[in-house]
Chain A
């Protein structure tokens, strides 16, 4: 079942990439770990939708507030940074 399933890191990276690509209206192959959300054309609303998609997919709660530009609790500086934050949250959830 969804919440009990153990994700390996490839699954997480792939799923996060898919969610971001869907919001950015691009093919997942165009999204690399080094991509920034701005480069992908995602605005703040798109970002909030990505976070929602990630939470729903992994059954986690992402500590994200759109008012805090540097997001000390959840690094959104690149796709790779987001993947790594999600991996941490999923690991914490499983622990």
Chain B
């Protein structure tokens, strides 16, 4: 079977504007959750979130191009440029036909939708900007990344709520394995920290008003964030032949559907997805050195995820670090598992496990070593990243040191 490795990584998220800054923030246990700055924030019941601060789009895009780019697309493009820069790929005519893009997003151009609904409904205008549709469409980020780098192979967007990026990266893996491409840019992005995007989540009554405390007994819900990450996935021999630096192997992918409740999680689906990912990687649970949990900080998710991990790991769970970096960067919805894969890469490459911050008290219902509050040094050879979406759609990736 064709093997797939990561040869580039890039990100724009609340913890940092690149991978280096994100690692530094994760190692310092910095929490980027703060008061939101969006328009009409005073009409929100929940006024906290993790925003990308100090990002000036005009430093990255020309004024003409920017008119086409919703914030979720800007995030994907900035991340993709970093990843391609690190990978050092020369996209010639032959490679352009063997390279593609698959990105995840849950809300697509949510901010564009919000702004233009405001224009027609609140401001009473009868005309919107002519390019609203190409800005808001879910595949906008994928298309702009393919255009920027001339990637003419497979191109698609995957939208599975909070598991979108993991599903996208899993499909990039499968496309390369299947021989449909040699290189795939993949990951995900999200930007829905606008009034409508926040108000919709508020309605579910699962948002925390203090901060995000995954696995902590006093957790009170999730906190939204914005951002994303993009990786260069490359066929192993292709990467070796050009002497590329290999960051890790994408060893396994597993997915499942709960086929149960539209919002309430249950352990069976996550258990099957984790087992499938490990089996795909040809590994046993004992090989795991770190798990980046879905860990949203809701009462239900963390309890169910701990139970699912217990079923997969058995007694081995007690000695396995399981952290949720959502405590630092917030829940980036469709882009979250892309940024969380960075925590897995950091564990494999830097030997540092990102902590779960804001953790005050162990919860007997969540018997995991959540790496509370402080990063930890450890040699990690295999890391797993969980994503369990609303709608019961689960996606799990396993990375291995090469």
Contact = CB atoms under 8 A, between A and B. Distances in A.
A48 B299 CA distance: 15
Given A43-B264, A44-B264, A45-B264, A68 B299 contact: yes
Interface string A56-79: 000001001111110000000000
A48 B204 contact: yes
Given A44-B264, A45-B263, A45-B264, A68 B203 contact: no
B203 A52 contact: yes
Nearest to B298: A67
B205 interface: yes
B208 interface: yes
B204 A66 contact: yes
Nearest to A66: B205
Contacts of B261: 43, 45
A66 B299 contact: yes
Contact of A69 (B221, B297, B299): B299
A86 interface: no
Contacts of B219: 67
Contacts, number: 42
Interface string B245-286: 000000000000000011110000000000000000000000
Interface size class of A (residues with CB under 8 A): 10 to 19
B220 interface: yes
Interface in B47-72: none
Interface residues of B, number: 19
B180 interface: no
Nearest to A45: B263
A51 interface: yes
A45 B261 CA distance: 10
Contacts of A48: 203-205
B206 A66 contact: yes
Contacts of A69: 299
A51 B203 CA distance: 10
Nearest to A61: B45
Contacts of A43: 261, 264
Contacts of B205: 48, 51, 64-66
Contacts of A67: 206, 208, 219-221, 297-300
A45 B260 CA distance: 13
Interface of B: 45, 203-209, 219-221, 261-264, 297-300
6 contacts: A48-B203, A48-B205, A64-B205, A65-B206, A65-B207, A65-B220
Among all A-B residue pairs, the 4 with the closest Cβ atoms = A67-B299, A67-B221, A66-B205, A67-B220
Interface of A: 43-45, 48, 51-52, 61, 64-69
Given A43-B264, A67-B300, 19 more contacts: A43-B261, A44-B263, A45-B261, A48-B203, A48-B204, A65-B205, A65-B207, A65-B208, A66-B204, A66-B205, A66-B206, A66-B221, A66-B298, A66-B300, A67-B208, A67-B221, A68-B220, A68-B299, A69-B299
